[in-house]
Amino acid sequence: MKYSLKKIALITEIIGGVALFLSLIFVGIQFKENTTATKSATANAANAITVSWYTETGNSKQSSQLLWDYIKNPKSITTAAEKYQATILLHGLILSFQNNYYLANEGTLDQNVQESLTASISAIKNQPGWQEYWKNRESHFFLEFRDYMNSILTSDLEVDEGIYK
């Protein structure tokens, strides 16, 4: 009987080991799927913030005009309240870009998002209002993002969308 119990115990240990191994594989698969789902949700949220900014600004004739005027010629903004509003509008967008920049660098967002950011900044980088804004607000952003932005501003890359002419 002792011999049989030892055999049964050994078989039970082997089965337990196999079961443990299989459960670890299952946990690994679930972890990978959860990571993918989390990245997807984060990417959607980051995109939604940027889309919301563009939609809200684009749907407000006053905000759109104010921002356009500021980017084209900041001296055309005559009141402190309007200058503040234009600055805050632009700052909200750039904060969203900063968030997307970090998410793209950590791999949560596709690198194409970062290329889109680069194109967006390249389109306005030579506009007087953008230059004034960045000079005044650059210090409000994280150093790594500032370096990224400054590399765009000093590059030869220029995207001409034609909307600021």
**What is the model's pLDDT at position 3?**
66
Query: What is the percentage of the chain residues whose pLDDT exceeds 70?
Result: 91
Please tell me the predicted confidence (pLDDT) of residue 161. 65
Phi-psi region of 141 (alpha: psi -120 to 50; beta: other; left: phi over 0): beta
Token pair, residue 95, equals 């904060």
Q: Is this prediction's pTM over 0.75?
A: no
Separation between Cα atoms, residue 135 and residue 19, nearest integer Å: 62
- Segments in the chain below pLDDT 50: none
148-157 residue pLDDT tens: 999 999 988 7
**Whole-number pLDDT of residue 81:** 95
